[in-house]
Amino acid sequence: MTTSEQPPVEPRAPMSLSPSRASDFMQCPLLYRFRVIDRLPEKPSAAATRGTLVHAVLERLFDAPAVERTAPRAKALIPGQWDRLLASRPELGELFAEGGDGAGDPTEPPAERLARWLSEAERLVERWFTLEDPTRLEPAERELFVETELASGLRLRGVIDRVDVAPTGEVRIVDYKTGKAPRPEYSEGALFQMKFYALVVWRLKNVVPRRLQLVYLGSGEVLTYDPVEADLLRVERKLLALWEAIRLATETGDWRPRPTKLCGWCDHQAVCPEFGGTPPVYPLPVVPVRPVEPGGPGQGGQGRMDQVPPAV
């Protein structure tokens, strides 16, 4: 069954917040709606699939004894992990079929396109060994699912690539990125996901992580940040404001597109008003917004959609 042939998924109201969905809403509320409420299908991308593959390889490498965690061994894991990924998601094979959207020349034979794509994954895995030494690491957790409920009732959840715990008890949260590191002026946005995880770990374990570390395999750079409680409290306030905006949009059905340069990569242009499309009929009950006096308290249930908290 191809992506286009998959049966529709039952729409649902948001129940929790993850770093990726929080970023979706801050980028474009309508994109959030399409992904979380309408749950519209999206085509797999070669870049995202490569990231999934590389993550799987780096996770599995730590199954081996420390002395055997070498670059050749890691590269040798790639074919098997690709087979496992393909078995769980057969539609990914369409990326490299004739005329598919996989990396490389679409006129190139599928086998050659796949081989080129796998070799790019190999290069990313090799580069990791120039940034970290896995023979000196013993992760406490890999691909760790975390979830907590704040006092407000907001449920936060996500998956952390790696958690390292020092003999002294200090915690380091590590995330692998297969793209390039952002320019310094955009580093705050890049750290949003990590601060989100740090907040969850703090609320779960009552321990503020000592370090947040982003490992960029695309450019061979490592971005680190050492959070303090004040940082995490700010993140918590931002998330609560964000969730309130999501709650309001869910109740009113008012999900506005926010055009940016990222629109060019969006799978939902056909149903986006910015591209002349019409969104699907809103599938959830709508609560009418009470009219208010201009300038009065609660002014602009609509206006709140224009005040989505920025990434922190």
- pLDDT tops 70 at residue 308: no
Per-residue pLDDT, 294: 54
Q: What are phi and psi of 62, to 5 degrees?
A: -75, -5
* Averaged pLDDT, 92-112: 76
Cα dihedral sign, 266-270-276-277: negative
Per-residue pLDDT, 273: 96
Per-residue pLDDT, 12: 79
Q: Which residues of 216-254 are buried (b: 16+ CB within 10 A; e: fewer)?
A: bbbeeeebebebeeebbeebbebbbebbebbebbbbbbb
Per-residue pLDDT, 301: 37
Q: How far apart are CA 182 and CA 188, in angstroms?
A: 10
pLDDT band at 66, cuts 50/70/90?
very high
> In this structure, are residues 97 and 111 in contact, taking their beta carbons and an 8 Å threshold?
no
Q: What are phi and psi of 183, to 5 degrees?
A: -65, 155
| 6 three-state secondary structure | coil
* Averaged pLDDT, 273-297: 80
Report the first-to-last Cα separation within the chain, whole angstroms: 40
Cβ-Cβ contacts under 8 Å for 304 (sequence gap 6 or more): 244, 245, 248
| Amino acid making up residue 153 | G
Query: 155 vs 54, 199, 279, CA distance in Å?
Result: 29, 12, 28
* Averaged pLDDT, 115-131: 97
Angle, CA of 65, 69 and 74, to the nearest 5°: 130
Share of the chain above pLDDT 90, in %: 77
Q: How far apart are CA 297 and CA 25, in angstroms?
A: 24
Beta carbons within 10 angstroms of residue 161's beta carbon: 21
> In this structure, are residues 304 and 297 in contact, taking their beta carbons and an 8 Å threshold?
no
* Averaged pLDDT, 133-162: 97
- pLDDT tops 90 at residue 196: yes
Both tokens assigned to 27: 């980028």
Beta carbons within 10 angstroms of residue 188's beta carbon: 14
> Average per-residue pLDDT in the chain?
89
Q: pTM, whole model, 2 decimals?
A: 0.87
pLDDT digit string, tens, across residues 242-251 = 999 999 999 9
Per-residue pLDDT, 17: 98
Per-residue pLDDT, 97: 80
pLDDT digit string, tens, across residues 10-43 = 777 899 999 999 999 999 999 999 999 999 999 9
Share of the chain above pLDDT 70, in %: 87
**pLDDT higher at 271 or 104:** 271
Nearest C-alpha neighbor of 13 from the set 37, 39, 42, 43: 37
The region of weakest confidence among 15-19, 93-97, 234-238, 290-294 is 290-294
- pLDDT tops 50 at residue 280: yes
**pLDDT higher at 22 or 3:** 22
* Averaged pLDDT, 285-296: 66
Q: What are phi and psi of 240, to 5 degrees?
A: -65, -40
Q: Which helix (H) or strand (E) holds 260?
A: none
| Amino acid making up residue 144 | L
Q: How long a stretch of residues is the chain? A: 312
Per-residue pLDDT, 109: 84
Per-residue pLDDT, 186: 85
What burial class does residue 208 get, using C-beta atoms within 10 Å of its C-beta: 0-12 exposed, 13-18 middle, 19+ buried? middle
